[in-house]
Chains A and B, each alone.
Chain A
């Protein structure tokens, strides 16, 4: 069994609306899989199903080999979930919230106190440990929500938008902790709509749209998969010659060519590294001087917009 999580035609419907539509994905053991998708794409629903908070309408999934429908208790013993919105027992204090969480997962006595205290310090919650939950700021409450998973370090950790409402320093700290969790052997699934978060954390990215998995690949493969994703900016002196656009567009891999300024052409190319030498040779054959070349690969923003239904060029316009 090399997959920690596997879904088989997982479907969740609310009346006529399908929040998740026959989803079949695999999460490899020990990887961080980021579910990236717009609001309402089914990311949170998937996490709720995997944590057995919701029951699927059809299909099923396994978590570390346990079926979420037939063995929900075993699944809950294996996973930990940090919810999108930090909600809890309003009158409790961070120490008690984490201590309770630890106790439920079997930690007792001195070991529990040590783990809880260390986690509070790791997440910069130590100064707020005696405040009530309702007195915490949004960012503190969110950090506390995420910190729960670091108390019992589950085999499969599910994070739903782990850095929403958290400041920049806090984001970086949480991302590093999540990566640390993976290095200690946990399998991590993160749902987010923040491209930067996905880029920082992901071993693989699953782009979701309307309850379906559009594509699941590593970042490099995703970027290479965009048609005309690389932009080659060619600046010529003294100006663009009339034949330049034509010869560039004839180079294999070139999807289209546009004139950016009086002396600059933009070529949209598939895997520019394969075609750049040929492109330069073609331009130089026109007896024109190339003053600069700049290649920019698509960002994950471009990939995200491309797969969720927008043109890559419009994303960079």
Chain B
């Protein structure tokens, strides 16, 4: 376990060695979210409860980013094999199972750091599929911000489809 944590610390250190890249990552997320979200909100009309498209766009981006980080972990593993990094790690006195666990932990932590800051806002939506009529529960009880009683820009911690 000591070796696992040493290796994890070492790899995390390299992954987040460049603070600017992590900041850029968040910045570009925000930039995309603002520009495309606003454009698409104007282009796409719907009867969905929250006509503000930002909410759907943001959620979609988070999902994409989660997959992106997962693919990053896998790609890092394969690239490590090509670049000779993996060969070095395999020659160290670390159990193969611990190494696999370490790679999972690395991917998870990278995921949390890169995606985590954007995962708070989620749309309030209890809606009736056939006619898209929205039934907003006790708004004051479930949200801290954004609910104006007209179902727009309302946030709760989870989405419930009835």
Contact = CB atoms under 8 A, between A and B. Distances in A.
Interface of A: 48, 51-53, 73, 76-77, 79, 81, 83, 85, 87-92, 96, 100, 103-105
Sort A-B residue pairs by CB-CB distance and give the 5 closest, nearest first.
Answer: A87-B84, A76-B93, A77-B93, A51-B91, A100-B10
B3 A104 contact: yes
Interface stretch (B11-19, B35-43, B55-63, B115-123): B11-19
A311 to B, nearest CB: 38
Contacts of B88: 83, 87-88
Contact of A91 (B17, B87, B93, B94): B17
Given A83-B84, A87-B83, A104-B6, A52 B14 contact: no
B84 A105 contact: no
Contacts, number: 53
A294 to B, nearest CB: 48
8 contacts: A48-B87, A73-B95, A76-B92, A76-B93, A88-B84, A88-B85, A92-B10, A104-B3
Interface in B27-78: none
A53 B90 contact: yes
B85 A87 contact: yes
A102 B27 CA distance: 38
B93 A83 contact: no
B17 A104 contact: no
B18 A91 contact: yes
Contacts of A81: 91
Nearest to A47: B91
Contact of B6 (A76, A77, A100): A100
B7 interface: yes
Nearest to B82: A87
Interface of B: 3, 6-7, 10-11, 13-14, 17-18, 83-85, 87-88, 90-95
Contact of A92 (B14, B83, B92): B14
B87 A53 contact: yes
Contacts of A51: 91
Contacts of B84: 83, 85, 87-88
Contact of B87 (A83, A96, A104, A105): A83
A81 B92 CA distance: 9
A299 to B, nearest CB: 34
Contact of B93 (A53, A73, A87, A88): A73
B90 A89 contact: no
B123 to A, nearest CB: 39
Contacts of B3: 104
A103 B6 contact: yes
A34 to B, nearest CB: 20
Contacts of A87: 83-85, 87-88
A124 to B, nearest CB: 22
Nearest to A78: B93
Contacts of A76: 91-94
A88 B7 CA distance: 13
A105 B7 CA distance: 11
A66 B6 CA distance: 25
Contacts of A96: 10, 13
A310 B90 CA distance: 38
Nearest to A89: B14
A211 to B, nearest CB: 20
Nearest to B6: A103
A89 B85 contact: yes
